[in-house]
């Protein structure tokens, strides 16, 4: 019997650690599997995903820029994925259709609260970005007890759409990017933009950072380096990249597919050694 096949779809995707992470999970738990990275531009993504499923693909992770578009390709989606309007985990059903889940939010909160031991409750939060990853982050942070969340995006219409989807005007507001210097400071700042991938500068004012603030980039490695350097220069209390979130969301996906959750600390330590963070604590 051949090993079950899984993949991560994105564009670009060559940098992805997901194949190695899932291989490490499989080795740890004795679960045989094949997991590959598939570069899928937006114009061919749907066809590539369909071909993967018809060729026997059992499940897939979805990353930038497809997390919102893939929703339309799912026959069923989890409640959290429906709320967030974004999917990052697909499971092939017996009828040949895809079920969509979103493990990003759970991965983010688990990394912050359990690995780093930080309490999210009652924090005043700022979310930079409003794409697929940002949507999952917003709902998860609010569910975890963040007191209020300000969403800022280069395209304000996307920020407004996310705030409308959340539907909590007492806790969630949007502001224009140009107004960042007038918003006061925040105990939580999450970078969910693609700036690190495109090597763009965010040009953020230091005044955003409250004493002992947590600054968190959903990206990892060099992609997160500029934001983390800014956070440390602004004297943030804590500055972390998204490696832990990546591993935690992958573990959630692995559990959906295989019914067992791996020990993430072992895998995190292995990859952290390759991607030093120099976090400030």
Active site residues: 67
Omega before 65 within 30 of 0, i.e. cis: yes
Nearest to 80 by CA among 92, 71, 69: 71
Cα–Cα distance, 7 to 11 (Å, whole number) = 13
**Any idea what the Cα angle at residue 125 is, between residues 121 and 129, rounded to 5°?**
135
Place of tokens 């895809």: 98
Helix axes 243-258, 18-29, angle to 10 degrees: 50
Q: Which residues contact 260 (CB under 8 A, 6 or more apart)?
A: 29, 31, 254
Q: Are 147 and 122 in contact (CB under 8 A)?
A: yes
Nearest to 224 by CA among 196, 190, 195, 189: 196
């Amino acid at each position: 019997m051949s090993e079950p096949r899984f993949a991560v779809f994105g564009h670009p995707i060559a940098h992805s650690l997901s194949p190695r992470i899932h291989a490490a999970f499989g080795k740890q738990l004795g679960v045989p599997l094949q997991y590959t990275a598939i570069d899928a531009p937006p114009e061919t993504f749907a066809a590539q995903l369909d071909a993967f499923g018809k060729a026997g693909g059992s499940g897939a992770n979805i990353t930038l820029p497809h997390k919102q578009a893939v929703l339309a390709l799912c026959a069923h989606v989890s409640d959290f994925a429906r709320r967030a309007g974004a999917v990052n985990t697909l499971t092939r059903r017996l009828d040949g259709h895809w079920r969509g889940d979103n493990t990003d939010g759970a991965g983010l909160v688990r990394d912050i609260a359990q690995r780093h031991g930080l309490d999210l409750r009652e924090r005043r939060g700022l979310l930079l970005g409003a794409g697929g990853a940002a949507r999952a982050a917003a709902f998860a942070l609010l569910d975890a007890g963040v007191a209020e969340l300000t969403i800022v995006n280069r395209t304000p219409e996307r920020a407004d759409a996310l705030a409308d989807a959340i539907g909590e005007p007492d806790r969630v507001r949007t502001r224009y990017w140009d107004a960042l210097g007038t918003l006061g400071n925040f105990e939580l700042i999450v970078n969910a933009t693609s700036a690190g991938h495109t090597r763009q500068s965010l040009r953020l004012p230091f005044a955003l950072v409250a004493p002992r603030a947590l600054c968190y980039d959903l990206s990892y490695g060099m992609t997160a380096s500029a934001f983390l350097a800014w956070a440390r220069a602004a004297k943030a209390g804590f500055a972390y990249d998204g490696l832990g979130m990546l591993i935690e969301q992958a573990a959630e996906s692995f559990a959906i597919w295989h019914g067992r959750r791996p020990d993430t600390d072992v895998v995190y330590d292995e990859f952290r050694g390759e991607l030093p963070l120099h976090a400030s604590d």
